[in-house]
Amino acid sequence: MSSILPSLGRDVSIDIGSIQTRLMGGTRESVISEPSIVATDAKQQKIVAVGDEADRIVRRMPDMWRPLTPLKDGFIVDYRVMHTMLKYFLHKVSNTLRLSRVLVGVPCGMTDVEQRAMMDAVMQAGAREVFLIERPVAAAIGCGLPIFDARGSMVIDIGGGTTDIGIMSLGGIVSSKTIRFGGSDINTALLRYIRQCFGVMVSDETIMDLKHSIGTAIAPLEDSEYVFQGRDMMNGLGRRCVIHQSEVYQVIDDSLQGLLDEIKQIIRQAAPEIVADIMQYGIWLTGGTALLEGLSQRIGTELGVPVHVPELPEEKVVTGLHGATADLVGVSRFIVNSKNRKGRD
């Protein structure tokens, strides 16, 4: 990979999530995290704000400004929004972007066209070179896993819109897959349940708070309660409701079933030596949804393997990308695609 020259500017790492975008490098030493949205007028013609600021004005004046996101399930669906968002984020961390290499964490199994769209968006935002690395690999580096050793390391990164699963060994990817399931699917299931059982509408913020407060992936020992305000679907008036943790658990349990089946399938397809390593060393769970109470125990019990959740699991992809910038030659086998100002490698 001839273009892996020493960086002239400071390298930048970016994990563009369906919910949050996280960056590291450039002029900033710590992780920056902002919502992956822009705010537009009602006709969706003028973009007036990006990230935190967009989130603020959309919440304050929802009738005037609409949120738009460039990604769906990890893939670009709105190129204009992606371009504006990337330009804003990358320039926020680098004042020498034209000299910088940008490492991007991407879902597994992106097509060549999807990879090109992502690289073009980053180059047009002003980068010198762009490198794509699959998210489970970045998360594994972020967790400090021995991915160059003769031992299988498995990572499951569960974010808001997607779950990226990867098994790595001997400096290569044994298998990887992106599943269209994340925390937003749990939110949707909870929203549907509340509409059906309570006959009320609730805000996204209420659902999020409910999930973060009493959401659990294992049967609760004590059935705690959560009180919320809904808008009655019959008369349009406000109504106080109480939901039990056991109900929330049931909804989450149902929505997790597909994911658990997919994880089992991936392990079943792995070589016996790799499976033995996973049984012995366990699985690392990263991404924001790894913080869901009881999820690691649930996966561990279902598969009979130890499951580890690192500190700040939602930052492991971006910290792993940042770690990779220190030795791009070393991780070159994990780079799925790259582009520089002269074109592609």
Ligand X SMILES: Nc1ncnc2c1ncn2[C@@H]1O[C@H](COP(=O)(O)OP(=O)(O)OP(=O)(O)O)[C@@H](O)[C@H]1O
Using CB under 6 A, list all residues that contact ligand X: 17-20, 74, 159-162, 182-184, 208, 211-212, 215, 287-289, 291-292, 314
111 is in an annotated binding site: no
- The distance of closest approach from Cβ of residue 269 to ligand X in the complex, given in angstroms and rounded to an integer, is 23
Q: Please give the Cα distance from 258 to 163 (Å, whole number).
A: 12
Whose Cβ is closer to ligand X: residue 17's or residue 51's? Answer: 17
In the complex, the smallest distance separating the C-beta of residue 185 from ligand X, rounded to whole angstroms, is 9
Residue 186 beta carbon to ligand X: minimum distance, rounded to whole angstroms: 7
Q: What are phi and psi of 14, to 5 degrees?
A: -140, 130
- Of residues 10 and 322, the one with the C-beta less far from ligand X: 322
* Nearer of residues 20 and 175 to ligand X, judged by Cβ: 20
C-alpha 29/C-alpha 93 separation (Å) is 9
Instruction: Specify the residue, 72 or 231, whose C-beta has the smaller distance to ligand X.
Output: 72
* Gap between the Cα atoms of 340 and 342, Å rounded: 5
Region of 29 please: left (phi>0), alpha (psi -120 to 50) or beta: alpha
- Nearer to ligand X among residue 38 and residue 274 (C-beta): 38
Of residues 9 and 182, the one with the C-beta less far from ligand X = 182
Least CB distance from residue 36 to ligand X, whole Å?
6
Is 162 assigned a ligand-binding role in the annotation? Answer: yes
Measured distance CA(175)–CA(198) in Å, rounded? 43
For 58, the token pair is 């959309």
Q: In what order do the strands lie in the sheet with 28-35?
A: 28-35, 20-25, 12-16, 101-106, 129-134, 335-340, 343-344
Write out the H or E segment, with its range, that includes residue 283: strand 283-286
Cβ 133 vs Cβ 107: under 8 Å:
no
Distance CA 14, CA 22 (A): 6
Task: Transcribe 61-122 into DSSP letters.
Answer: -TTTEEEE-SEETTEES-HHHHHHHHHHHHHHH-S-GGG-EEEEEE-TT--HHHHHHHHHHH
To ligand X, the closest distance from the beta carbon of 98 in angstroms equals 27
Nearest-approach distance from CB 104 to ligand X, in angstroms: 12
CB of 288 to ligand X, least distance (A): 2
Q: Tell whether residue 282 is among the known ligand binding residues.
A: no
Say if CB 100 and CB 128 are below 8 A apart: yes
Minimum distance between the CB of residue 144 and ligand X, rounded to whole angstroms?
Answer: 19
Give the residue with the Cβ less far from ligand X, 13 or 289: 289
- Beta 75-76 vs 71-72: how paired, if at all? antiparallel
Determine the length of the chain.
345
Task: Give CA angle at 287 (119, 332), nearest 5°.
Answer: 40
Task: Pick between residue 190 and residue 274 the one whose CB is nearest to ligand X.
Answer: 190
Annotated binding site: 160-162
Annotated binding site for ATP: 160-162
